[in-house]
Amino acid sequence: MAFLNPEKIISQLSIKKGMSVADLGCGSGGWTVPIAKEAEDGQVYAVDILEESLSALKSKLHSEKVHNVRVVRADLEKGSSLRVESVDLVVVSNVLFQAERKEDIIKEAFRILRKKGVLLVVDWIPEAENGPEGRISPQEAREMAENNGFDFLEELDAGAYHFAHVYKKD
């Protein structure tokens, strides 16, 4: 069974040079680094609440010589310091299952996305044998996104344990 492969999913998003991207709940950068390499001279915002994860990410960015990432510490359930309508793509991967106020994270994604911007939501499927508690179904994620102004575009292959939805802000 295939496990989550960020590079495979990122390749389906058509990230262009110069794009502005926010990786909300970036952790130690499993998505941030490949996104930054795709966006090349674009700006990537890596946002997380855990200082340890951000520190590990900074080390990874240094060792891989990635210079287009700005690390931001924030509690996503309370918002972030990113400007309104400032990014082209928001990635929320493996974040919703661990959030108490899931909808607030979706609202933050909407706030910072430009019009016509894209939201990628990746999370654990409830049916997977292994995985954390607190998982939400793909349908719950879709309803949450649509109730907060997003239009569903497509579902991407995210392996046997995750779902990946792409939404657009009009």
Which tokens go with 17? 């040079």
pTM of the model: 0.95
Rounded to the nearest 10°, the torsion over CA 90, 131, 152, 93 is 0
For 25-161, list the strands marked E by DSSP. Answer: 43-48, 69-73, 87-93, 113-124, 150-156
pLDDT in tens, 50-71: 999 999 999 999 999 999 999 9
pLDDT in tens, 112-159: 999 999 999 999 999 888 888 889 999 999 999 999 999 999 999 998
Q: What is the pLDDT of residue 1?
A: 44
Strands 150-156 and 162-169 turn out to be antiparallel
8 A C-beta contact, residue 117 and residue 155: no
